[in-house]
Amino acid sequence: MTKHFYYKVINKKHQTVSGHITASSLAEAKSKLINDKNTILEVKPKLFYMSFSSHIFTKKIPPEEIISFTRQLHTLFIAGIPLLECLKLLLSLIKNKSLRKILKQIIISIKKGSSLSTSLSNYPQTFSKEYVTLIKAGETSSSLGDILADLYQLMHWEKQLKQKIWNSLRYPLIVISAAMLAIIAMFNFVIPKFAKMFANAKQELPTPTKIILALSNFFTNNRILIIIIILTIIVTIFILNKIPKTKKLLSLLMLNIPVFGKIYQKYLITRFCKVFAILYQRGIAVLPTLQILKNTSKNTTYQFDLEYLISQIQTGQSLGQATQHTFLFKGTVSQMAELGTKTSKLGIMLEKISELYTEDINYILENIFAYIEPLFIIIIGAFIVILAFGLLMPIWNMAQVIMN
């Protein structure tokens, strides 16, 4: 969990400066400050209400703004303009008020002697842990310009992927929503009218009709209870996701959902290969790269695989050998990583893997409705048949009684 800390230090210019920094612990906060060549005078947690209010009232900045900021910063930086001047120029170009406010504070922080990565880390809601970590890797390896280009491409790819997912799911979601609304309307308005008619007829109803009427009565008379049950399920899932053991189980379930789980698996693999290739080709060794990936990951199964890779590589195994016994990376990734290690082209091979899996994701998304359309037809068709059978049978029986 990210926490806020107040600090007072003597920077590398021998100036006494103060400010705030975010970290998961007090030790990490001190480590960040020391890494920027500061002499620590004081570091302490910020008051709860200050952290809470800053979290609540900080306006969320759209990802598009961060992508544009990264692209513009890269363009200016590779043109040979000093970093501080780049940020000042961007301040005059950026129109988003929230981002301008943050950028002003970043400029002040850098003027006081902080690095770009440390300054960015003070705004975790805007700049993710992975973003900050990659910037720090660029500073360490003197390849900030290249890292900015890689970051832009990574974020742009993610934005395009999210757009493709939305475009692919839009039609199925409309169909599901329409079907749900139709079911709610049937149970709340149509079936109760049939129930009155059947009650007036005073005849024995078939079992399917009794079941349909019972369901209609339940939904009509227990709306508040149904809402409470739904909210309870949501809250329970949220709580279970905070417990390590159940969180691991939920993350595993997410990866095994038909069709969508496969997309998520391929997304995690693609992202792993992209970020690994970025760091590895910028001179970051395998172990630190894996540690960075583990620290910035959110899926528990993915984290577990990365922890296993770290432990195996520490014993002397290659990346290809270690990935053979993981949930996500066994198979194609393992074989191609081993080949890349043997040919000393691991970074290039990982880029090829990411391209391969990106094509797979695009193919699945383009044909996703073909996967789920038969299921839609079966479910909706079965519902219509059961409903028609249950409601028309008593009417047919009533007609026969009248004819007789």
Show pLDDT as tens, one digit a residue, over the chain (404 residues).
567 787 888 777 777 777 777 777 788 888 888 877 788 878 888 654 444 444 444 567 889 999 999 999 999 999 999 999 999 999 989 989 999 999 999 999 899 888 999 899 888 888 988 898 889 888 888 889 999 999 999 999 999 988 888 888 888 788 888 888 888 888 888 888 888 887 777 777 888 888 888 888 888 888 899 899 999 999 998 888 888 788 888 888 888 888 888 889 999 999 999 989 988 888 888 888 888 888 878 788 888 899 999 999 999 888 888 998 888 888 888 899 889 888 888 889 999 999 999 999 988 888 877 777 788 788 888 888 888 888 887 777 777 766 66
Contact 22, 97 (CB under 8 A): no
- Residue reference for tokens 């974020």: 155
CA distance linking residue 188 with residue 220, whole number of Å: 6
pLDDT number for residue 156: 93
pLDDT number for residue 344: 86
Helices (H), ranges, 186-299: 191-201, 207-221, 223-240, 244-255, 260-281, 286-295
pLDDT number for residue 183: 83
pLDDT number for residue 57: 44
pLDDT number for residue 270: 92
pLDDT number for residue 374: 81
Residues paired with 16 in a beta bridge: 10
pLDDT number for residue 11: 77
pLDDT number for residue 293: 87
pLDDT number for residue 47: 54
- Residue reference for tokens 């970025």: 278
Q: What's the token pair of residue 303?
A: 């984290």
Element housing 18 (H / E): strand 16-23
CA distance linking residue 153 with residue 71, whole number of Å: 9
pLDDT number for residue 330: 86
16 burial via Cβ count (<10 Å: 0-12, 13-18, 19+): exposed
pLDDT number for residue 83: 94
Buried b (16+ CB within 10 A) or exposed e, 228-257: eeeeeeeeeeeeeeeeeeebeebbeeebee
